[in-house]
C-alpha cells in the first residue's frame, strides 16, 4: 500500500481509544457520511454511540494498515504494545475482515496487554457495524474459551453471548454466523441443559414469527428441537401440560375421542414439541404467503416427526410385528375430512415388552392389553393426523397467490417422493 501521510491519524486513534475506556456502555460504531473536513474532530460520541466522519476513513485506515504491516514484518524490533493495540482497534473497526490483525490482537491478549472482558466489549461494538463478520465471531469464541480456562462464570458469559448474537441477527437478515455462534454458545456454555434449551425454544418462537423469511433463525429452531428431543427428562411439568394441549389440538382434526392419559410424560413432551411447531408453522404459512423458508422448515419438522414415531415403534416392536388395527379407521376419517382421501402409512403394533415410553421393561413386567391398545391408538392417530394436516394445509392455500401455489405443489411432490405418502392432488380453496 502506498504511503499516505496523515498527521491527524494518531490523534483520531487516541480519541477512539479514549471513548472505549470512558464509556463501558458503548454499544454502536458507524461511519457518518461527512465528505468535508470542518476543522474539528471527526470522532463523534453521542448517547453511547461512536461515529467517525467518512472523509477521514481512508486516511486513517491507510495509516494503520501501513504501520501494522511494518510491525508485522519487523517482529525482531518490538513495537510499543499500547501503540499496537490502538492501531489494531482503529484498523479492525474500519475493516474487520483482515485475519492478520485479529492474530496480532490475540498475541496481545496472550501477553496480557489487553483485557479479555474489554475485548468482548470491543468486538460487540464492532459487530454493530459489521454484524455478519465471521472473523469477529471466531475471535469471540477464542476469548470465551480463554475465559473458561480462567474459571469465568458460564451463566454470565452465556447471557452476554446470547445478547450479542441476538443483536447481530436483528441487524442483518439471514445472519448465519450470528445463529451459528448462538448454537456454539449453547453447546459449550450450557452443555445442552434442559433449562436454557427450553428458554431459547420459548423466546425464539416470537423471533421467527416476525422474521418468516430468515432461514438461519429457523435453522436455529431446528437445532433446539433436535436437542430437546434427545433429552430424557424435561425440567418443568408446565412443559407437559403445554405439550398435552398441543397434541390434543393436533389430533382434534378427527380424533376427539382419543386420550393420552395412559402415555407417559416424556413421550407426550417430545411429540408435543413437534406438534406445536407444526401448528405454528401452518399458521405462519397461511398468514404470510410465499415464504419458502417456512415450507423448508416444515419439511424438517415432518421428517423429524416421522423419524421419531418410526424409531419409537421400532424400539417397541422388536423383531417382526403386525399392522396397526386403526389403519382402516384412519383412511376413512382422513377421506371424510379432506374430501380427497389419503393413504396411511404402514403401522406396526408395539410389543408388550416395552413400556409406553419405549424403554425396555423388566423381565417380569408387561404392558396390559389396555395400555397396549392405548399406545397403539396414540401412535396411529399421530401419524394419521400428520397426513391429514398436510392435505388441509395445501387445500387452504389461496389460488390467487401464485408463488404460494408453486411452493404448495413443490411440497406435495416432496411428500410423495421423499416421505412416500400417497396423497392425491388437492384442490385449493379461497
What does the DSSP assignment read for 104-141?
HHHHHHHTTSS-HHHHHHHHHHHHHH-TT-HHHHHHHH
CB 279 within 8 A of CB 249: yes
**What is the spatial distance between Cα 283 and Cα 302, in angstroms, rounded to a whole number?**
16
**What residue segments make up the domains of the chain, in order of their start?**
1-114
**What is the spatial distance between Cα 167 and Cα 179, in angstroms, rounded to a whole number?**
11
Q: For the purposes of burial, counting CB atoms within 10 Å of the CB of 158, is it exposed (0-12), middle (13-18) or buried (19 or more)?
A: middle
Instruction: Supply the angle between the helices 154-171 and 176-189 in degrees, to the nearest 10.
Output: 170
Residue 399: what pLDDT? Answer: 85
Give 174-210 pLDDT, tens digit per residue: 999 999 999 999 999 998 888 899 999 999 999 999 9
CA-based nearest residue to 390, from 328, 321, 343: 343
Residue 306: what pLDDT? Answer: 86
Give 216-265 pLDDT, tens digit per residue: 999 999 999 999 888 866 655 566 667 777 777 777 654 444 445 545 56
**What is the spatial distance between Cα 355 and Cα 290, in angstroms, rounded to a whole number?**
43
pLDDT band for 359, please (50, 70, 90 cuts). Answer: very low
In three-state secondary structure terms, 49 is: strand
CB 191 within 8 A of CB 201: no
The pTM score is 0.83
28-32 and 43-46 as β-strands: parallel, antiparallel, unpaired?
Answer: unpaired
Q: Does the pLDDT value for residue 61 go beyond 90?
A: yes
Q: What is the mean pLDDT of residues 15-25?
A: 96
What whole-number percentage of the chain has pLDDT above 70? 75
In three-state secondary structure terms, 53 is: strand
**What is the spatial distance between Cα 187 and Cα 230, in angstroms, rounded to a whole number?**
14
Residue scoring higher pLDDT (22 or 344) = 22
Q: What is the mean pLDDT of residues 6-20?
A: 94
Q: What angle do CA 180, 184, 188 make, to 5 degrees?
A: 175
Q: Does the pLDDT value for residue 299 go beyond 60?
A: yes
Give 365-416 pLDDT, tens digit per residue: 455 566 666 666 677 777 788 888 899 999 999 888 999 999 999 999 999 9
Mean of per-residue pLDDT scores for the chain: 82
The full DSSP string for 18-44 is: HHHHH-TT--EEEEE---S--SS--EE
CA-based nearest residue to 220, from 274, 297, 123: 297
Q: What is the mean pLDDT of residues 58-72?
A: 93
Residue scoring higher pLDDT (426 or 328) = 426
Residue 258: what pLDDT? Answer: 46
Q: For the purposes of burial, counting CB atoms within 10 Å of the CB of 122, is it exposed (0-12), middle (13-18) or buried (19 or more)?
A: buried
Which letter does DSSP use for residue 253 in this model?
T
pLDDT band for 360, please (50, 70, 90 cuts). Answer: very low
The full DSSP string for 141-194 is: HHHHHHHHHTT--HHHHHHHHHHHHHHHHHHSTT-HHHHHHHHHHHHHHSTT-H
Which set of grid coordinates corresponds to residue 277?
A: 411447531
Residue that has been written with the C-alpha cell 420459548 in this structure:
202
pLDDT band for 330, please (50, 70, 90 cuts). Answer: very low
Q: What is the mean pLDDT of residues 23-49?
A: 93
Q: What angle do CA 13, 17, 22 make, to 5 degrees?
A: 145
CA-based nearest residue to 375, from 389, 345, 361, 355: 355
**What is the spatial distance between Cα 206 and Cα 201, in angstroms, rounded to a whole number?**
10
Q: Does the pLDDT value for residue 364 go beyond 50?
A: no
Residue 427: what pLDDT? Answer: 63
Residue scoring higher pLDDT (387 or 19) = 19
Amino acid at each position: 500500500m502506498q504511503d499516505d501521510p496523515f498527521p491527524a491519524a494518531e490523534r483520531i486513534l487516541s480519541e477512539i481509544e479514549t471513548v472505549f475506556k470512558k464509556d463501558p456502555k458503548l454499544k454502536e460504531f458507524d461511519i457518518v457520511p461527512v465528505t468535508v473536513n470542518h476543522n474539528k474532530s471527526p470522532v463523534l460520541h453521542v448517547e453511547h454511540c461512536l461515529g467517525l466522519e467518512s472523509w477521514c476513513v481512508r486516511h486513517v485506515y491507510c495509516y494503520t494498515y501501513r504501520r501494522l504491516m511494518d510491525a508485522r514484518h519487523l517482529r525482531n524490533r518490538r513495537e510499543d504494545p499500547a501503540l499496537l493495540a490502538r492501531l489494531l482497534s482503529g484498523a479492525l473497526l474500519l475493516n474487520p475482515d483482515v485475519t492478520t490483525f485479529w492474530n496480532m490482537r490475540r498475541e496481545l491478549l496472550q501477553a496480557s496487554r489487553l483485557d479479555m472482558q474489554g475485548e468482548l466489549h470491543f468486538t460487540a461494538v464492532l459487530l454493530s457495524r459489521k454484524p455478519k463478520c465471521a472473523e469477529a465471531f471466531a475471535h469471540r469464541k477464542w476469548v470465551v474459551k480463554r475465559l473458561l480456562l480462567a474459571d469465568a462464570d458460564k451463566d454470565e458469559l452465556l447471557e452476554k453471548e446470547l445478547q450479542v448474537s441476538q443483536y447481530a441477527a436483528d441487524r442483518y437478515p439471514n445472519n448465519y454466523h450470528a445463529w451459528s455462534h448462538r448454537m456454539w454458545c449453547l453447546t459449550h456454555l450450557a452443555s445442552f441443559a434442559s433449562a436454557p434449551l427450553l428458554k431459547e425454544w420459548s423466546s425464539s418462537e416470537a423471533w421467527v414469527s416476525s422474521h418468516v423469511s430468515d432461514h438461519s433463525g429457523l435453522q436455529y429452531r431446528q437445532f433446539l428441537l433436535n436437542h430437546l428431543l434427545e433429552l430424557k427428562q424435561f425440567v418443568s411439568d408446565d412443559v407437559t401440560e403445554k405439550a398435552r394441549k398441543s397434541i390434543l389440538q393436533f389430533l382434534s382434526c378427527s380424533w376427539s375421542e382419543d386420550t393420552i392419559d395412559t402415555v407417559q410424560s416424556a413421550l407426550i413432551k417430545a411429540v408435543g414439541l413437534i406438534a406445536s411447531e407444526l401448528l405454528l408453522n401452518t399458521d405462519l404459512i397461511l398468514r404470510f404467503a410465499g415464504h419458502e423458508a417456512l415450507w423448508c422448515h416444515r419439511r424438517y419438522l415432518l421428517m423429524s416427526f416421522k423419524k421419531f414415531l418410526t424409531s419409537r415403534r421400532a424400539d417397541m416392536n422388536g423383531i417382526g410385528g403386525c399392522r396397526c388395527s386403526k389403519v382402516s379407521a384412519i383412511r376413512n376419517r382422513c377421506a371424510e375430512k379432506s374430501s380427497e382421501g389419503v393413504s396411511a402409512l404402514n403401522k406396526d403394533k408395539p410389543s408388550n415388552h416395552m413400556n409406553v415410553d419405549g424403554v425396555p421393561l423388566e423381565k417380569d413386567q408387561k404392558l396390559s392389553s389396555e395400555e397396549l391398545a392405548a399406545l397403539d391408538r396414540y401412535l396411529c392417530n399421530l401419524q394419521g393426523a400428520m397426513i391429514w394436516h398436510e392435505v388441509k394445509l395445501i387445500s387452504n392455500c389461496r389460488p390467487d397467490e401464485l408463488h404460494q401455489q408453486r411452493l404448495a405443489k413443490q411440497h406435495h411432490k416432496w411428500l410423495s417422493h421423499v416421505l412416500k405418502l400417497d396423497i392425491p392432488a388437492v384442490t385449493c380453496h379461497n
